[in-house]
Amino acid sequence: MSNRVLASLENPWRHQCVDIFVRANGSFGFEEFRRDPEDGGLWQCMNRYAPLVFSSEAQATDAARASVLWLAKI
């Protein structure tokens, strides 16, 4: 079973986002994505944060805001 996205937070220009997700085991996490015109506008995983494990959606969201610079500013 794959992760289920609970929230997708995009920057104002809609070319970066952070997904907050819950895993099949009930733990939570987040990942940062970006899309560029040269990639056909497809979302590309940055693969930096997904391995981190949190016990709640709120903890994952707080960690995302503390870790992803552009997200902390919006």
pLDDT digits (tens, 9 = 90+) for 14-66: 999 999 999 999 999 999 999 998 888 899 998 899 999 999 999 999 999 99
Which residue range is the domain that position 41 belongs to?
Answer: 4-72
pTM of the model: 0.92
Instruction: Please state the domain count of the chain.
Output: 1
Report the C-alpha gap between 23 and 10 in whole angstroms.
21
Report the C-alpha gap between 46 and 31 in whole angstroms.
7
Report the C-alpha gap between 25 and 69 in whole angstroms.
29
